[in-house]
Structure 1
Amino acid sequence: MSRYFNFTLVSLLSLAMSCAQAQPIKEQTAKVQPPVTTPASDSAAVSNVPGWDVSRSFEELGRLTDSLLLGTHNTDQFEFTMRRDRIASDAKLQLEYTPSPGLLPTLSHLRVYLNDELMSVITIDKEQLGKKTVRQVDLDPRLISDFNRVRLEFVGHYTDICEEPSNSALWVNISRASLVSLKEQALIVQNDLAYFPMPFFDARDYDKPVLNMVFAASPTLGEQRAAGILASYFGSQAAWRGTKLPVLFDQLPAATPAKPITASIVFATNTHRPAFLSDLKQFPPVEAPVVQMIDNPNDRYGKVLLVLGRDEADLAVAAQALVLGGDLFRGDRVVIDKVQQIQPRQPYDAPNWMRTDRAVRFAELIKYPEQLRASGLQPLPISLDINLPPDLFVWRNQGIPLQTKYRYTPPASNDGSRLNISLNNQFITSLPLVASSKDRLEELRLAVLSSESANINEKLSVPALKIGDRNNLRFNFSFATTTSSSQRDRCQTSLPVDTQAVIDDQSTIDLSGYHHYIAMPDLAAFARSGFPFSRMADLSETVVMVPPQSSAVQLSTYLEAIAGISARSGLPAINLTLSDNWEEASKRDADVLILGSLPPDLRDNQDMNVLLDRSRDWLLKANHQGPGSSQTTNAGSPVASRVEVSAKGPIAAIVGMQSPSHEQRSIVALLANEDAGFQLLRETLNDSGKMDAVAGSVVLIRSSGVQGQMVGDHYYVGSLPWWLMLWFKLSEHPILIAFLAVSGVLLSAFMTWRILKWAARRRLAYEE
């Protein structure tokens, strides 16, 4: 497939110059051609091509631990990508490794491949044995493409004759601190929407995308809603990367040395436009929803996406068309005729969550084609991520049905080879790998019983899956084949068998039949899964409350919060509702996300334990902390005292509570009273480490960090059958259960005695 770039003279000249610098000058025997004169303007343009020095460690590329190459596992590889609107002019690999002290120097070495092309052979010298060594390897930039693979092969020797591949002296440790470094240069991109979301977002980029959202002054609710829909789309695409969405009024960003290329999205109607769109000849009024890509006049390498409409309704249609029908777009300008949602979304159908209404095949859970395959005498484990709704109620269950079908290279004999299955690094079961070439089918149940206690004082108000909402199911094939043996008077060697193992993608895991029930408020569920808003992944049952006149940083906070929810659910918020009227929003049967400050009637709520005021902060503290303590309590700890202070400095809060109008609905408030506080919220929403600290019902955010606590009473969201609800409620009162059990036994005994006495009396009367 052809790439979508315009390789202009500037880009070609820059590439030629970089290649000329990298290649040694050779003598020419052919006729010398006259030199080509480059205009001064072109030379200046070449020097102004944006460039980046990009370095990424193996850890940043997904290797959380060092890699150990052995005699029986002598190959490892890692992948890296590059944006399609850039080209590499130089590439290097900085390899940090520690070889075994038992290796034979010179004979032992490492081979380095880039995209299956041999780049270098690194010999292991005597001085390197047992010591950490750093070597730099040049990679051919001409081989660098969108997707790249570096393969390392270890050839190790510890003796001249009669070697065992499994000998413990054969190893080399590859540090996760090793680096791959690229010199990247920008390419000028065509204005073609056929490649949307590129260049605004490229899945091959590791960095957090930065998209400038541009409005006319005082954007309306409709413009903000359209921006929220599009922000949620980019959030769902960026996923773990996060998204930064700075807001600008009436101006486009200019390139800076720190950000040499900008990407912007502009929202404008015929009657409410930013100042730079005021030229009606160049940008005439539209007659329908329109999406157009243009060059940034302030940045020749930057792109601007115009979302245009006659009114606010057209903007929403244009944003929804980009989200739902972007595959139909082509050219630099597209007119949207119609957008229609044929089938409404259902609860808990978020793409990032495993379905709980039926058995799910592993084929629906894999992220890349070879994920369920492993090879080698010591193959790497096969891992599968399982994300679940946070309110899944599993209590006193009999385990989760798991039907596993797998194939493997059969061992020569029944030698103890095993398949070990674990969940979140906890061992589940072990299955033998017998000397048979037939497919194996195992039906088992994951024993993930939850706690029998439901006592709130034990910080477990509703029993939940021990596996949680994010889980990793691992299959580890362990082959025990003997490849060779050596003795003083007898040497026997053999080539190791290239063992293969596959978990069939038709294997299933079944979570159907479980109910949804959770204790709220639970800000950890909001931070990790976007719950309760992500229950309907399109946010069709969510109302976002924004200030009447939002500032730029407030709008950025709103957009990044919506993008974060969609990143966790995997679906854009195409049915998002926006409001700045609390009386109207509170009447809707929907969950509410509040931005800025609490409505007046919620400030007097008895369950409200944090109020941010311009001059005073209130906070409830735990009754077990000693004098002088400044730390807030852990989520779930009771509180019995209040601290009231007056202080300067930014502060923000995230508060969860029950809706006063609908007992099954929740409110999450992102509270701040100044731009510095909203900036703290933005930093927290875009930091996975800080979001992991969000828990309980109240979270305070200061420059020192994030602190959460549980205050107030729980309420429950979801439903259970009456008999399960009865047992669950009784489980909180063990003494009552014991009393009822004893009473039941006595009552049964008394009734049995009465029945037997009545039967005996009747028999005696009959005999008389």
Structure 2
Amino acid sequence: MSRLTKKAVFASLALMTFASQLMSAPLPLPGNLPAATPVSTTGFAQTDQTLPSWPVTYTFEQLGRASDSLLLGISSAEQVEFSLRRDRIASDASLQLEYTPSPALIPTISHIRVYLNDVLMGVVPIEKDQLGRKTTQKMALDPRLISDFNRVRLEFVGHYTDICEDPANSTLWVNISRGSGITLQEQALSVQNDLAFFPLPFFDPRNSSKLELPFVFAANPTLGEQKAAAILASYFGSQSNWRGAHFPVLFDNLPGVQSKDAIQPTVVFATNDHRPAFMSDLEKFPAVTAPVVEMIDHPDAPYSKILLVMGRNEEDLATAAKALALGGHLLRGSRVTIDNVQELQPRKPYDAPAWMRTDRPVRFAELISYPQQLQVSGLQPRPITLDINLPPDLFVWRNQGIPLRTQYRYTAPSASDDSNLSISLNDQFITSLPLKRKDTSNLEELRLSVLSNDTANVNDKLIVPSLKIGDRNRLRFDFNFASTMGSSQRDRCQTILPTNTQAIIDEDSTIDMSGYHHYLSMPDLKAFARSGFPFSRMADMSESIVVVPSKSTPTQISTLLETVASISARSGYPAFGVRLSDDWQTASKQDADLLLLGEMAPDLRDNPDLNVLLQRQRDMLVQPYGTTPIDANNRRSLKPDARNQPANKVEVTAQAPIAAIVGMQSPSHNQRSIVALLGNDDADYNLLREVMGDSGKLDAVSGSVSLVRSSGVYSQLVGDQYFVGNLPWYLLLWYQLSEHPVLLAVLAVISVLLTAFLLWRALSWAANRRLHKDD
């Protein structure tokens, strides 16, 4: 044995002896360990303690695939995206793939490749017994590749013959079911109390599920405390957007936790003189001398965080809530003192960030929600879509058209064929533009006309009826590339690979909705349900007053918070200017739109236009003569009509919950509206909360009254309509006369006769003057 080998053996023996002594030595107790300060650059502290973990499954339908996906020979790829909260990691992941392959495929050599974030995870072979049958396969995904944003891509490789194969053959397909899903074993991270990551952990935009955030008050919260909570809830509502938000309210106590591993962030509001019972210890929670926000651990659940919003009085709470919504980038540390929050410039009507601007042309770059949204590839590329949200009272009627300036580029076709670009709005075809071989870059200045019925071409006005343009619109561009494949011709085998075709709509393309007036027939609960109108007319709700009961229950406050949050979700801006009142007499005289929660005001119960009345003793419903079509986009049909006038009244007594949403005109100001959310007890308010948080039920809210029961939402139109907004006198006259063609014809005849008479008199006077001059 060499000298070097002997040294290595002795070193190994010495190391083994030292290790055995170390393992047999007693370990120091935790209390004897020296204190250490954790260092983290991410805000999440790693601990040796077992962190809470739970499985989460996302189906393809939940990830945005409303229908099954069909993979073809020339359109062989499909992808789904999913996200992971920043305070979570994935310890395990798998793909549950449901698919149905074509019965004409050759088994084994036909397969599906699965990628996670562009890394091949595996191959799913298509076996003989799977052809034409729905099959489920489970594949493990590497959790180390999962980050905050992830993409699973499926690529279909199909074969139906071993020679002279045509990639466009109709037998090459596999159907991917929308029931396929991705399962993650999510594990929580130990979050430090650092406001630099706000709104984490209270809200994470990477989380696609509905936000649930409890709010805690002292018993009998004041109007100022409710206003501060409404401001903060509206901020979370504007951030959660389409996800929705749920704000359970508790008095004096923190929400209960099932175990110490539970994760439930909470927001607490407290002033020096009015604070929840668990904050009564002034040594642990001393009085503050300014608006303060602080993040602490839940006393019973170390992984749950509590956001304390504290102040000397109610005004301080509102200041702290505004600072959280506006100054999130300035926050850091576990405790922040707010020195000042000042509004530098007031909001203007119709400037909601979620609405497209109507004062100038808007570039497509301002409308996209993610990079490369305007770029597609492949012989059958996906459609390019743009969501255009508009104020619901935009008066688009008998105009000269909506200018659409479209610039696009594409891969030149291999031959002059039938390739084209189709443009549609709200699933209504507008026009088709040819994709020529020599021109790979085009600029088309089009006008979306609302009157013409002629066939459109690249230079003509396009056809988009104004009644199809509403508050939510989708502009769609479809690139259709024709291709001639010659590989399957008889007695001639020629392999042709499809061209990597790409197309893009330039971000400098514009759409111009400027020059339109604001005019809408009311009451229109559809506008309230879909856009928060009229309260969202001012994005900060500065021209709105919410009338609440003098003594609110937790469920009533939850209804208030979730309603204001839903309005801010549709405007995209927090309700910094919202006002709260419990005095109906004073609020009704203000020049503001009123949102009423609770029972109907006494002086409105005798209103002839009242549609529904809910009391503890009886329920009353006024019904019209017949059923009136309710169309949020065509408000012209909702003009005063005898069929809308009350004809019947029904009174019943029942114990089951019932609620109502009622719209009416303000008795004090003709241009102001009232929306009343009526209920008697917590069960009624829970029905209202369910409707406000369910997009499907919200779509059923329309007309002037919507009854809410456990069976669903029933809407109708009763009473006279009124109009909000302004039109020039000539346009208003023409609009009013358009509903009376006979009167319009009579006025036209009178105008022609009057013009002819005046012309005859003028000619007679000229003739007489000439004759007298000659004499």
- TM-score, L = length of structure 2: 0.89
Structure 2 distance, partners of 1:647, 1:364, is: 52
1:704 corresponds to: 711
Q: Does 1:471 align with 2:469?
A: no
What is the CA deviation profile of residues 455-497 of structure 1, one whole-angstrom value per residue up to 9, with x for unaligned ones? xxxxxxxx96412111111111111132443323211112221
Q: How does 1:179-578 map to 2 (within 5 A)?
A: 179-256=181-258, 260-436=262-438, 438-449=440-451, 465-578=467-580
Q: Does 1:58 align with 2:60?
A: yes
Q: Does 1:662 align with 2:669?
A: yes
How many residues get paired?
720
Contact 1:253/1:298, CA 8 A, preserved across alignment: no
The amino acid across from 1:397 in the alignment is N
The amino acid across from 1:184 in the alignment is E
Structure 2, unpaired ranges of 5+: 1-14, 32-46, 454-464, 632-637
Indicate the SS of the match to 2:303: strand
The amino acid across from 1:153 in the alignment is E
Q: CA deviation at 1:519?
A: 0.5
Indicate the SS of the match to 2:153: strand
Structure 1 residues 391 and 258 mapped into 2: Cα distance closer, same or farther (>3 Å)?
farther
Q: CA deviation at 1:708?
A: 0.9
Structure 1 distance, partners of 2:617, 2:274, is: 37
1:94 corresponds to: 96
1:619 corresponds to: 621
Structure 1 residues 475 and 613 mapped into 2: Cα distance closer, same or farther (>3 Å)?
same
Structure 1 residues 600 and 633 mapped into 2: Cα distance closer, same or farther (>3 Å)?
farther
1:588 corresponds to: 590
Contact 2:60/2:181, CA 8 A, preserved across alignment: yes
Contact 1:94/1:178, CA 8 A, preserved across alignment: yes
Structure 1 distance, partners of 2:124, 2:152, is: 14
Structure 1 residues 449 and 757 mapped into 2: Cα distance closer, same or farther (>3 Å)?
closer
Indicate the SS of the match to 1:589: coil
Contact 1:395/1:449, CA 8 A, preserved across alignment: no
Contact 2:87/2:191, CA 8 A, preserved across alignment: yes
Structure 1 distance, partners of 2:81, 2:29, is: 40
The amino acid across from 2:516 in the alignment is Y
1:695 to 689, 693, 702: 702
Contact 2:261/2:303, CA 8 A, preserved across alignment: no
2:600 corresponds to: 598
Indicate the SS of the match to 2:139: strand
What is the CA deviation profile of residues 396-427 of structure 1, one whole-angstrom value per residue up to 9, with x for unaligned ones? 11221000001111112321210000111111
Structure 1 residues 41 and 676 mapped into 2: Cα distance closer, same or farther (>3 Å)?
farther
Structure 1 residues 259 and 450 mapped into 2: Cα distance closer, same or farther (>3 Å)?
farther
Structure 1 distance, partners of 2:312, 2:717, is: 48
Structure 1 residues 634 and 259 mapped into 2: Cα distance closer, same or farther (>3 Å)?
farther
What is the CA deviation profile of residues 675-722 of structure 1, one whole-angstrom value per residue up to 9, with x for unaligned ones? 111111111111111111000111111111111111111010000111
Deviates more, 1:506-515 or 1:160-169: 160-169
Structure 2 distance, partners of 1:746, 1:114, is: 78
What is the CA deviation profile of residues 405-452 of structure 1, one whole-angstrom value per residue up to 9, with x for unaligned ones? 01111112321210000111111011111113542100111234599x
1:679 to 679, 686, 699: 686
Q: CA deviation at 1:734?
A: 1.5
Q: CA deviation at 1:763?
A: 4.1
Contact 1:392/1:465, CA 8 A, preserved across alignment: no
Q: Does 1:135 align with 2:142?
A: no
Indicate the SS of the match to 2:380: coil
1:165 corresponds to: 167
2:35 corresponds to: none
Indicate the SS of the match to 2:99: strand
Contact 2:216/2:253, CA 8 A, preserved across alignment: yes
Deviates more, 1:179-188 or 1:524-533: 179-188
Q: CA deviation at 1:177?
A: 1.0
What is the CA deviation profile of residues 8-62 of structure 1, one whole-angstrom value per residue up to 9, with x for unaligned ones? xxxxxxxxxxxxxxxxxxxxxx9797779999999xx989743322111101100
Structure 1 distance, partners of 2:346, 2:508, is: 28
The amino acid across from 2:297 in the alignment is D
Deviates more, 1:96-105 or 1:319-328: 96-105
Structure 2 distance, partners of 1:426, 1:31, is: 78
2:111 corresponds to: 109
Q: CA deviation at 1:355?
A: 0.6
Structure 2 distance, partners of 1:306, 1:411, is: 62
Indicate the SS of the match to 2:245: coil
Q: CA deviation at 1:752?
A: 2.7
Deviates more, 1:639-648 or 1:522-531: 639-648
What is the CA deviation profile of residues 338-388 of structure 1, one whole-angstrom value per residue up to 9, with x for unaligned ones? 111111111101111001010000000000011000001111111110111
What is the CA deviation profile of residues 285-307 of structure 1, one whole-angstrom value per residue up to 9, with x for unaligned ones? 11111000000112111110000
Structure 1 residues 414 and 650 mapped into 2: Cα distance closer, same or farther (>3 Å)?
same
Structure 1 residues 286 and 449 mapped into 2: Cα distance closer, same or farther (>3 Å)?
farther
Structure 1 residues 578 and 492 mapped into 2: Cα distance closer, same or farther (>3 Å)?
same
Contact 2:260/2:302, CA 8 A, preserved across alignment: no
The amino acid across from 2:761 in the alignment is R
Sequence identity (%): 65
Contact 1:386/1:473, CA 8 A, preserved across alignment: yes
2:734 corresponds to: 727
Deviates more, 1:222-231 or 1:433-442: 433-442
The amino acid across from 1:728 in the alignment is Y
Structure 1 distance, partners of 2:167, 2:452, is: 45
Indicate the SS of the match to 1:699: strand
Contact 1:622/1:633, CA 8 A, preserved across alignment: no
Q: CA deviation at 1:320?
A: 0.3
Structure 1 residues 259 and 698 mapped into 2: Cα distance closer, same or farther (>3 Å)?
farther
Q: What value does the CA root-mean-square deviation take over the aligned residues?
A: 2.4
Indicate the SS of the match to 2:468: coil
1:646 corresponds to: 653
Indicate the SS of the match to 1:492: coil
Indicate the SS of the match to 2:677: strand
Contact 2:260/2:303, CA 8 A, preserved across alignment: no
Contact 1:424/1:472, CA 8 A, preserved across alignment: yes
Deviates more, 1:663-672 or 1:407-416: 407-416
Indicate the SS of the match to 2:191: coil
The amino acid across from 1:86 in the alignment is R
Q: CA deviation at 1:235?
A: 0.5
Deviates more, 1:196-205 or 1:160-169: 160-169
Q: CA deviation at 1:165?
A: 1.3
What is the CA deviation profile of residues 133-154 of structure 1, one whole-angstrom value per residue up to 9, with x for unaligned ones? 1111111122222111111111
What is the CA deviation profile of residues 722-753 of structure 1, one whole-angstrom value per residue up to 9, with x for unaligned ones? 11111112222221111111111122222233
Structure 1 residues 731 and 38 mapped into 2: Cα distance closer, same or farther (>3 Å)?
farther
- TM-score, L = length of structure 1: 0.90
Structure 2 distance, partners of 1:66, 1:490, is: 36
